[in-house]
Structure 1
Amino acid sequence: MAHFNPPQIQDNPLGWGPCAIPDQFKDMPYQPFAKGDRLGKVSDWTGATYQDKRYLGKYSSAFGGGGSQYAYYHDEDENSFQLVDTAKVQKPVYQRGRRVFQQNKQRRERERRQQQAQANMQVLSKTQKSRERDRQRLLRKWQKQFGRQMQENRSKAPIKNRDASVQVRESWDVVEEMDFPRLTKLSLPGMEDASDLMKCGKMEYYDKTYDRVTTKNEKSLKRINRIFHKVTTTDDPIIRQLAKSKGNVFATDAIISTLMCCTRSVYSWDIIVQRVGDKLFFDKRDDSEFDLLTVSETATEPPQDEGNSINSPRNLALEATFINHNFSQQTLKMISHVETRK
């Protein structure tokens, strides 16, 4: 029969647990640990492995800092201690000459201050002293006056609450509301490479002499009598022709560009979406803000004037649109067709 040898049990009448340490573990230090502690490094002798404060206690033990039993303590005299390698450390290339550069910079700065102090110590005549005092007094007056005005203008600038382009009526039913974070999370299906379905109109050559226009070599803006089409989607004859055979969503370039920049928009605008069968048409209203270029719309302090003021948003937009239309045509080489007969 098999014989069972029971283990030796140590009786501890004054406490709990064993009262003696086995010989093989007698001189071995013990680090307490918990089962939930993370094991992410072999050793850390400095305690500065992680510079980010968020990870300082990432691998800390549940029992505190610990590790004191592995700390090094020296009690002997170190007078006889000598370094083995006494060679001078070679600095990298980008650090060589840095000290000389700093010394030269400090020397030039010190000389500049001395020259300025000497200039201030020169003896001035009574007329020069009077002019200098008047200039300093006038300068302080301007700084005080205009600084206060600028601060008052900043504090008095009201926050303009602009009206919506469409007044929402109480009888309307809300079908669904979508905010910008929700729109950014939408995933589009795989799109094929874009292709031109139809090319219309003609292109004129750019006049390269406008590349040399500067403040000294200026050119006056000319008025070009040309028609700029601003039709909406459903009124475009080309889109009407394409809608019969290809595509199911149609919009003009002005509408698409406004939709792409809608996150930075400050002025109010709206789009009319019409569904004809299984096709969607994005339209704009007649003579709407889509046809105008905005001025300082995304600035810290956008134009606030209203009415007939020259700096009102609409008047500034009209001016910018007029300039852009004429300048875009002025920079083209216009070819005049001359008919000859024999």
Structure 2
Amino acid sequence: MCASRSTYPWDLVITKRGDVLVFDKRTNSSLDFLTNGETAPDPLPEEKDNINGLQQLSMEATSVNQAFREQVLLGEGERQPLQEACPADLGPQGGGYKYCKWQLGGAAVVVRCAVDAAVRLGDSTQLVAVHALNEFDPKWSGVDWRQKLENQRGAVLATELKNNANKIAKWTAAALVTGIDQIKLGYVTRALPRDNRNHLILGTQAVKPRDFAMQMNLNMDNCWGIISGLVNLCQEQLEHDGKYLLVRDPNKPQLRLYAIPAEELHYAGEAAAAADKEAEDKDED
């Protein structure tokens, strides 16, 4: 839905079975990780060992987001039941999933949507999505959260909307599709500028998805138009059943569609997993 805002490469696996199209991510896909500074005017360094580089910041943003969610959610207490049971091994413990269906022209679209939490306000229950924004270098962003967050939160959020337009737009679009009533944002910074393992929560903010979308000029009609166009393209171009790979070009704002044998796709996922395991073993040594 927010493909036009992305600048980093990504890919999706498309499986065609008759008239059915299934969109999913690869094993160890870049979509498993959040980005930080993706849409900033100044590009981030790409050195793997640089804690302020693209890859290290992505892993940090992902771990911070997960840790923040685990800290703010109650481990015990009343649970809000959803209509469907949570599929096995999907997402962090405590999260829920909804299955939503829409009609786009002649195609029916079914989406699995995640819900992080629920809060009771009076007699009503609101569904909540929980996300964290993290600061890594005030000099790079030009806004010091420790000094500005309390009195100039709007300036901090505006900077994040500029530097992380794609990530925040995806959160907001997902909330609108799911029927989330509010997004709980956490502002997290490093305890020390050169330490990417220890962090502090400076504050939180609750926003309504629809108001947030207006603030960032996110038009859901355009988002659904992207989905509709992609579905129509696949229906026209994919003649045979099998697996295909949709790739966002790393150098151009362009999507490419490839037909790939299933065994090669499976091998690519295993190879990536093996490479990650080898890197972890080296770090432990």
TM-score (ref. length: structure 1)? 0.22
Larger radius of gyration: 1
TM-score (ref. length: structure 2)? 0.26
Determine which structure has the larger strand proportion and give its number.
Answer: 2
Higher normalized contact order (CA 8 Å, seq sep 6+, divided by chain length): 2
